[in-house]
Chains A and B, each alone.
Chain A
């Protein structure tokens, strides 16, 4: 793959996710940004922490290993 393509691909996906757009790639799957609100978390040592909110990237695949191997 061309380095120029890899660079552009990464930038485009990032920009669209920041805009809360989903990006669907045919034959691969769909990228989307999911917001997680702050939450309480109890650590192993018993301390209770308030975890800050964050955005995560979720990927919904279109393909699976079984299908492609068959």
Chain B
């Protein structure tokens, strides 16, 4: 159905309690504002709604705001892109971990390199001073005396500016002189220290903070955003089986499907399988229809196999219960354990298909709860 001008004005009148004349005037004004903005080479943004602008071809275009886009997509909240071949993901994760480890070590190394300088300055001076006071001797006799074993301490021109640097801490001239020698010991290190190292440390620290913030937001975001039935099942693990059962029994065909054996370990199905194995190879013996499809038993196949994931649960027991119920409905049911954002989830899939297209076609025939809330996943 298309809402035209009259209907739109009526709806806006109800919503805003403005008069129809005012609404019409506001709509005209909106049009004028958009055209006026375009004449000035600008776009008109309505906060929470979107952006009107003229594209390269000179036609009026509209880009919805994120808020509007999210509200329109509330049915699919929480659904995220899924990698079809997950083995590559794990490989990437490993490489990422390998990358971060040396960076952290490097950062620690820099931190350690910075610390000793301060410690030498602080504790070295105080030790020397206290020892000199106890002995009652000139603490820097060697420095100002005949000769010294350490060639560095004889460099007086360097020591003078250091005296000015820290007179407060020392309080006495000899102490200041000693400080000069301490600083001198640290000075070569400062010279060798590459300024790029400092920049790298700062950049790495910023990256780590950003990554940490990103990880925290990613971990906390999904429960807040999910408004769909799947998220409720994840958060309230006691309820999902009942919900799933109700959904399926409303639209499914329970009488026909209850004949399917509920578990793989059932003796009758085992005996059937063994009979089949006696004659020929099971992969060849079973026709294509028996190996793939929504209904039946899971069977071993060669090559890639896809399934339709309808539940993603955090507790294996709940996943087992849900899978049993689906199995009782006659679906080929499988549970796959996956790690998403560091959390283990149990994905309950139904059906077994040779390719994604077939899975998508079959998914379109599913009952209503699963028809729009599913995704295709590769089983093997």
Contacts and interface: CB of A to CB of B under 8 A. Distances in A.
Contacts of B82: 49-50, 52
A14 B60 contact: no
Contacts of A30: 2
Nearest to B31: A27
Contact of A1 (B29, B64, B75, B360): B29
B194 interface: no
B316 interface: no
Interface in B1-40: 1-5, 8, 11-12, 15-18, 22-23, 26-31, 33-35, 38-39
12 contacts: A1-B29, A7-B16, A26-B27, A27-B31, A52-B79, A57-B50, A57-B72, A61-B60, A64-B54, A64-B59, A66-B58, A68-B38
A7 B71 CA distance: 15
Q: Is the interface of A mostly helix, strand, loop or mixed?
A: mixed
Given A1-B30, A49-B84, A55 B72 contact: yes
A8 B18 CA distance: 10
B46 interface: yes
Interface of A: 1-2, 4-14, 16-18, 21-31, 33, 37-38, 40-41, 46-57, 59, 61-66, 68-69
A21 B81 contact: no
A59 B69 CA distance: 13
Q: Which 4 A-B pairs have the closest CB atoms?
A: A59-B62, A52-B79, A8-B16, A61-B60
Interface of B: 1-5, 8, 11-12, 15-18, 22-23, 26-31, 33-35, 38-39, 46-50, 54, 57-62, 64, 68-69, 71-73, 75-76, 79-85, 88-89, 356, 360, 372, 375-377
Given A8-B18, A57-B62, 6 more contacts: A8-B16, A21-B3, A22-B1, A37-B360, A47-B83, A54-B76
Contacts of B89: 47
A40 to B, nearest CB: 7
A12 B15 contact: yes
A24 to B, nearest CB: 5
A23 B64 CA distance: 14
Nearest to B29: A1
A17 B360 CA distance: 26
Nearest to A32: B2
Nearest to B10: A12
A64 B39 CA distance: 12
A34 B12 CA distance: 23
Contacts of B46: 6, 9-10
Contacts of A63: 35, 60
A16 B30 contact: no
Nearest to A30: B2
Nearest to A2: B26
A63 B61 CA distance: 10
Contacts of A37: 360
A54 B33 CA distance: 31
Contacts of B3: 16, 21-24
Given A8-B16, A27-B31, A66-B58, A49 B49 contact: no
A5 B85 CA distance: 49
A26 B376 CA distance: 42
Contact of B60 (A6, A24, A57, A64): A64
Given A4-B18, A8-B16, A40-B356, A24 B62 contact: no
A27 to B, nearest CB: 5
A14 B12 contact: no
Contacts of A22: 1-3
Contacts of B83: 47-50
